[in-house]
């Protein structure tokens, strides 16, 4: 799988898009000319989905897979947006200081 990601990265000409794909795309799944791109974090997913970066991503995908490729970006583990601090102190037991 890493090999396919590296091929895609080599086809991307926009530096920021290149960096996001290289560091945050973890898997590519093909199904009948449809590509699902799994991203490890919501921030990079939203950046890659923005109109500007999506255009660069689409051009790179077309270079590698042809113009008839369709694709979508998804979180690798949806619902797992916990930080290291939240793992140590669960939401249900966190106490907030009183104001006033």
Residue 78 covered by a domain:
yes
User: How far from 19 is each of 30, 71, 75, CA to CA, in Å?
Assistant: 22, 19, 17
> So what's the pLDDT on residue 98?
57
Provide the residue range defining the domain that includes 32.
2-93
Domain CATH for 39: 3.30.300
Say which residue the tokens 């290289």 belong to: 22
Residue 29 covered by a domain:
yes
Longest CA–CA separation in the chain, Å: 62
Residue 7 covered by a domain:
yes
Tens digits of residue pLDDT in 68-98 = 999 999 998 766 555 555 555 555 444 545 5
User: How far from 18 is each of 3, 10, 32, 81, 100, CA to CA, in Å?
Assistant: 15, 8, 25, 24, 49
Number of structural domains the chain divides into: 1
Q: Provide the whole-model pTM.
A: 0.74
Tens digits of residue pLDDT in 48-69 = 999 999 999 999 999 999 999 9
Residue 99 covered by a domain:
no
């Amino acid at each position: 799988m890493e090999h396919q990601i590296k091929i895609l990265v080599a086809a991307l000409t926009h530096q920021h898009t290149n960096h996001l794909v290289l560091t945050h795309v973890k898997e590519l799944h093909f199904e009948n000319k449809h590509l699902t791109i799994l991203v490890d974090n919501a921030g990079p997913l939203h950046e890659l989905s923005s109109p500007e970066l999506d255009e660069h991503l689409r051009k790179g995908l077309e270079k590698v897979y042809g113009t008839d490729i369709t694709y979508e970006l998804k979180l690798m583990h949806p619902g797992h947006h916990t930080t290291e601090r939240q793992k140590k102190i669960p939401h249900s037991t966190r106490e907030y200081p009183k104001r006033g």
